C-alpha cells in the first residue's frame, strides 16, 4: 500500500503488538472451546441446505433446533445429522429438516463405527461447500485479470441500499458508472438482531436491504454485468455481523462477495450481543473470509460516534491492533485487513485538521500493508449542506495526503436525511476533484519528526500501549475491559447480551468438518 508513513519508535510498535497478542490469546482459546447455533447452521449451509418452511423459518434453523432439543449442540450437529442420513432417516438434508420440523425423526450422538461413517459423510458434504468457495475465489481472480481492476487507490466505496434489491441493482450499476469501485449494500436496520437469515429476494427494508443469499447473487450478477461494460472489476460488500455472522460469511463466500463488514467487537458494543457469542462467531466467520479471499472491514469508526474522537483516539488504535491479531490468527493476510478509522474530530476544535492528519497517518504507519478503510464525517454533520460538503472535501484531502486505501464516500446530508441520488453524485464529484487535483500528494507530504502531527501520533500510540497494559491488568482481561465500558463508552458484561443462550461449551466428542477444513495451518 502506498502512503507516507511516520517514523514511529519500532520498540513501542512491537510492544503494542505484543500486548495485543497477550490480550487476544485468551479470547481465541475461549472461541476454540465453544460453539454457537450460528456456527452449526453455517456448517449446514456449507453442506448445501437452503430454503425455508412455509412460515419463512430457514431449514437450517429448523434442523439445528431439532438436534439441539435431542442432543444439545455441545457435540456439534454434524454427527447427529449425518448419522440420521446414513441410517436412512431421509434422502437429503432438506427432507431431514422437513421431518425434524414435525418431530418425525429423532437424533443421537453416534459412537464407534456409526460415528466414523457419520464423520465421513459430513466431511464429504461440507467439503463440497468449501470447494465451491475456493472456486468462487478463483473466479474472482480470473475476472479481475479479464476486466482489469480499479486504476488506483483509494478505492471509492459507496453505499447503496433502498430496501428493495430490485431497486438497489440499477442504483449500484449507476454508481459504478459514476466512479464507485466498491458497492456496499447495507443491511436493513435490526437484521443483526435476527437469529436467522431471511430467504430469497427482498423488496422492503428500513434504512437498508436484507442480507440474503439470493440478494447476494442478484447484486453480484448485476455488478458483473457492469464490470464487463466498464472494463474494471467492481467489488461488492455486505455485513457479516450480528447473530448470524458465520452464516452470512459463508453465503458471501458462496456468492463471491469481495468485502464484508466484520468487526470483532461491534456487535458487542453497539448491538448488545453477548461477548462470548460474538467472539466465537467472528473467529469462524474470519476463517471463511480468509478462505474466500474476502477483505474484511472493521468498525472502529463507530467508537467515535459515541466517544470523543480526540479523547478516545487511542481506543481506536487498540481496537485496530486487536482486530489485526484476531484476523491473522484466523488466517487472514495483511491485504485482507480493511481496518477502520474515521474523520470525526469536532471541526470547531482548533487544529482539528492537523489532528485528523495525525490519526490517519498513525493508522497508515502502523499497518502499512493493510487496505485501511477511511470513514467520512458523520457525528458533526448538521443541516448546513455547504458546511457538510466542505467537511467531506477535507476528509477526502486527508485521504489523499495520507495514502488511504478504501475511501467511503461522504455525503453532505449524512445523518440528516436519507441522501438523494443527486447528493451521491455531488459526493462522487467531490472525491474525483480532490483525488485528481492532489494526484500523488502523499509522496510529497512529510510532516517534520518533531512537529504537531508526529508528536500527536506518538502520544496516541503511547496511550494505546498504556490502555493495553490496563486491559491485561483486569482479572479477565479483554472481557472485563469490555464490561467496564473501555470501548465506545459501552458497558457489556460477559454474561449478558443477546444470543448467550445459543452458546455451548464443546464436548470432548465435538465434531465439525467446517472448522477442521478452515483451521489455518501454522
| Percentage helix, strand, coil for the chain under 3-state DSSP, each rounded to 5 | 55, 10, 35
Nearest-CA neighbor of 213 among 372, 407, 50? Answer: 50
Cβ-contact 289, 332 below 8 angstroms: yes
Burial class (CB in 10 A: 0-12, 13-18, 19+), 353: middle
Active-site choice (301, 303, 389, 423): 301
Nearest-CA neighbor of 341 among 175, 169, 457? Answer: 457
373 is catalytic: yes
Q: Which residue has the cell 440474503?
A: 212
Find residue 235's DSSP bridge partners: 182
Active-site choice (99, 328, 373, 506): 373
What are the b/e assignments for 133-161, b being 16+ CB within 10 Å? beebbeebeebbeebeebeebbbbbbbbb
Nearest-CA neighbor of 392 among 381, 404, 403? Answer: 381
d(CA 405, CA 60): 37
Nearest-CA neighbor of 20 among 491, 489, 481? Answer: 481
Strands (E), 280-386: 295-297, 337-338, 340-342, 373-375
Cβ-contact 339, 367 below 8 angstroms: yes
**For residue 154, cis peptide bond before it (omega within 30 degrees of 0):** yes
103: Cβ contacts below 8 Å, ≥ 6 apart: 66
How many CA within 13 A on the CB side of residue 138? 6
DSSP state for residue 443 in the 8-state scheme: G
Q: Which three cell numbers stand for residue 415?
A: 445523518
266 is catalytic: yes
- The crossing angle, in degrees rounded to 10, of helices 10-33 and 452-473 is 40
The continuous run of DSSP H or E covering 145 comes out as helix 112-147
Q: Give the torsion through C-alpha atoms of 474, 478, 483, 484, to 10 deg.
A: 50
Active-site choice (210, 233, 266, 511): 266
Catalytic residue positions, numbered: 266, 301, 373
Amino acid at each position: 500500500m502506498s502512503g507516507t508513513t511516520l517514523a514511529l519508535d519500532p520498540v513501542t510498535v512491537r510492544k503494542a503488538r505484543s500486548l495485543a497478542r497477550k490480550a487476544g490469546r485468551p479470547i481465541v482459546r475461549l472461541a476454540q472451546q465453544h460453539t454457537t447455533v450460528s456456527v452449526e447452521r453455517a456448517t449446514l449451509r456449507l453442506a448445501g441446505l437452503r430454503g425455508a418452511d412455509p412460515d419463512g423459518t430457514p431449514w437450517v434453523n429448523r434442523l439445528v433446533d431439532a438436534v439441539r432439543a435431542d442432543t444439545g449442540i455441545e457435540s456439534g450437529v454434524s454427527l447427529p445429522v449425518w448419522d440420521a442420513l446414513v441410517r436412512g432417516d431421509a434422502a437429503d438434508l432438506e427432507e431431514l429438516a422437513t421431518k425434524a420440523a414435525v418431530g418425525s425423526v429423532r437424533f443421537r450422538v453416534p459412537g464407534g463405527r456409526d460415528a466414523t461413517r457419520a464423520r465421513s459423510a459430513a466431511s464429504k458434504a461440507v467439503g463440497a461447500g468449501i470447494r465451491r468457495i475456493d472456486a468462487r475465489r478463483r473466479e474472482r481472480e480470473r475476472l479481475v485479470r479479464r476486466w482489469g481492476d480499479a486504476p488506483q487507490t483509494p478505492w471509492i466505496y459507496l453505499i447503496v441500499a433502498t430496501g428493495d434489491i430490485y431497486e438497489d441493482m440499477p442504483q449500484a450499476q449507476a454508481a459504478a458508472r459514476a466512479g464507485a469501485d466498491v458497492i456496499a449494500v447495507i443491511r436493513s436496520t435490526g437484521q443483526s438482531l435476527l437469529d436467522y437469515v431471511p430467504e430469497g429476494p427482498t423488496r422492503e427494508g428500513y434504512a437498508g436491504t436484507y442480507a440474503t443469499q439470493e440478494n447476494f447473487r442478484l447484486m453480484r450478477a448485476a455488478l458483473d454485468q457492469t464490470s464487463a461494460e466498464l472494463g474494471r472489476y467492481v467489488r461488492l460488500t455486505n455485513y457479516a455481523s450480528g447473530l448470524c455472522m458465520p452464516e452470512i460469511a459463508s453465503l458471501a463466500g458462496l456468492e463471491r462477495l469481495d468485502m464484508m463488514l466484520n468487526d470483532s467487537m461491534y456487535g458487542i458494543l453497539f448491538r448488545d450481543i453477548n461477548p462470548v457469542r460474538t467472539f466465537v462467531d467472528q473467529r469462524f466467520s474470519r476463517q471463511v473470509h480468509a478462505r474466500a479471499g474476502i477483505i474484511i472491514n472493521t468498525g472502529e469508526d463507530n467508537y467515535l460516534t459515541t466517544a470523543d474522537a480526540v479523547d478516545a483516539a487511542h481506543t481506536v488504535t487498540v481496537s485496530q491492533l486487536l482486530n489485526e491479531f484476531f484476523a491473522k490468527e484466523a488466517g487472514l493476510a495483511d491485504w485482507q485487513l480493511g481496518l477502520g478509522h474515521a474523520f470525526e474530530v469536532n471541526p470547531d476544535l482548533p487544529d482539528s485538521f492537523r489532528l485528523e492528519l495525525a490519526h490517519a497517518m498513525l493508522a497508515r504507519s502502523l499497518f502499512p500493508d493493510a487496505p485501511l478503510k477511511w470513514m467520512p464525517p458523520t457525528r458533526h454533520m448538521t443541516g448546513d449542506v455547504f458546511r457538510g460538503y466542505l467537511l467531506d472535501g477535507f476528509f477526502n484531502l486527508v485521504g489523499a495526503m495520507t495514502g488511504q486505501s478504501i475511501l467511503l464516500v461522504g455525503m453532505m446530508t449524512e445523518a440528516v436525511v436519507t441522501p438523494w441520488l443527486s447528493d451521491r453524485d455531488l459526493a462522487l464529484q467531490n472525491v474525483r476533484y480532490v483525488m485528481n487535483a492532489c494526484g500523488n500528494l502523499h509522496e510529497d507530504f512529510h510532516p517534520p519528526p518533531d512537529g504537531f502531527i508526529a508528536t500527536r501520533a506518538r502520544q496516541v500510540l503511547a496511550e494505546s500501549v498504556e490502555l493495553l497494559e490496563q486491559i491485561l491488568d483486569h482479572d479477565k482481561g479483554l472481557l472485563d475491559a469490555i464490561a467496564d465500558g473501555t470501548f465506545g463508552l459501552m458497558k457489556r458484561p460477559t454474561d449478558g447480551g443477546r444470543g448467550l443462550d445459543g452458546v455451548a461449551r464443546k464436548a470432548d466428542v465435538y465434531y465439525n468438518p467446517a472448522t477442521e477444513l478452515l483451521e489455518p495451518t501454522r
